[in-house]
Structure 1
Amino acid sequence: MTYENLIRKSTDLDSLFELWEKKAQVTERYMVNNIEHEVVINHADNKFIPDGIVNADLWHDSKHKKILYVLKEAYTDENEKAFDLAKWLRDYHPNLRIWNRIARWTYGIQNTSANRVAKYIPDIDKKEEIRKQLFEQIAVLNLKKSGGKSQSVTEEIAAYARSDREEIVRELQLIDPDIVICGLTYWILDQVVFGNKPLGGASTCDNWYYYKNLDGKERLYIDYYHPANRWPDLLNYYAVINIYQQALLSKISEI
């Protein structure tokens, strides 16, 4: 059986990541400011960082919305070992700016409906037990699984996604989210991974949400900034939550 077929037939995230980490080395090229760059993608030697569902038991219950965050890359310091991102979130529920913001967004989406917007609570991420509960309601998918850097190069992220598109598609299918929040990654997911044409004209949603069937199932995709952006937390919160509510209202208007 070919590597591609093994990926497509993976039945769980652990087996998918095991194959993915051992994938043969490839070289990808990409352009930045009309200058060609080359990157050698070797997951086994470049600190492969798996991600996925933080708490499988909660993920598969019927009480919570299944929210996936598609981000760019995870990274470690030069002297640190690779780690399992989902396990790290589950065990340590980090008190860090990016993850605190994701916790707030998760609270807002879980508690917002077409008729009600969950109010912003400034200190909701300050209590460790609340962070733990919120992290356990999410999944995370980084497009670049190895060789992570503190400063992302978008074109390099796209090169990794192009090389690993089969694996990314399968990970999305296995996670099976209801809602996908893209942190400045939607165009890579839509165009590079799934091969769709660039958005434009009538195909562009001014409210930054899309109901799309990219992998065999319709899901809600929210096209937003990366959670590391420098806009204030209050502005970010209501932007994401109101985009989500507008998406819900659009479905009601179709009935």
Structure 2
Amino acid sequence: MAPHHPEDVGMTAAERPPSAAPAGSGRAPRRAVTAAARTRQPTEVRRRLIVEAAVPLIGERGYASVGVRDVAAAAGVSVGTVTYHFGSVQEILSEAMVLHIERYYTALSEAADRATSGAEALRLLVDALFTEDTDRHWRMWFDYWNAGEQGTDEAFARGQAHRYEAWHGQIRALAERAAADGRRAAVDLDGFTIRFAALADGLALQRLRQAPPLTMEAARRHLNHLIETELGPAPSA
């Protein structure tokens, strides 16, 4: 039997392209069904399905341990469907990270926007970075780093750079707001942003490795100390 086009995977027999009836079957050949009449999931829907399935796999096993077959099995599609929509596991990782980061930081940004001060918003950020549920986030983030170092895909590199810039931009905006609240005009916002991001990454790596051991509360305390040292508390009314 000739293989079906990847987009036909999962169709019922009635929805697949027609084929000639076997000789002597007594059945009249089926009429051709136009592409518009077939029930197919749009490309965007299939890509999203695959990426959605890849997120928990990468978070639990690590990027290096996830292959195309694993993703296909988790998504409930054929390997051919995955390779039709994605050129590599790295490409799936890139889109999975975009999806994960969007979900992770959208709720955080909304909470920070509701904060009464920039300092409070930064502390909400710290609280969200280190919880009992964020280990998967940090594993994916470090896998994302490593994939960028190992690959030569320019689109992947551009996407990585964009996400790093967005992360630094979010930190800087909150720091600027905190400095304005505290009426501190001489704050080195760019320097604070670099130090905050570097400390958060370093603490996260230490927490994952537990060498030396680091509790969630201690990680938060170190970041909050940086905030207080460089930005200070809001002035009293």
> Which structure has the higher relative contact order (CA within 8 Å, separation 6+)?
1
Q: Compare the two structures and name the one with the higher strand fraction.
A: 1
TM-score past 0.5 threshold:
no
Q: Compare the two structures and name the one with the higher helix fraction.
A: 2
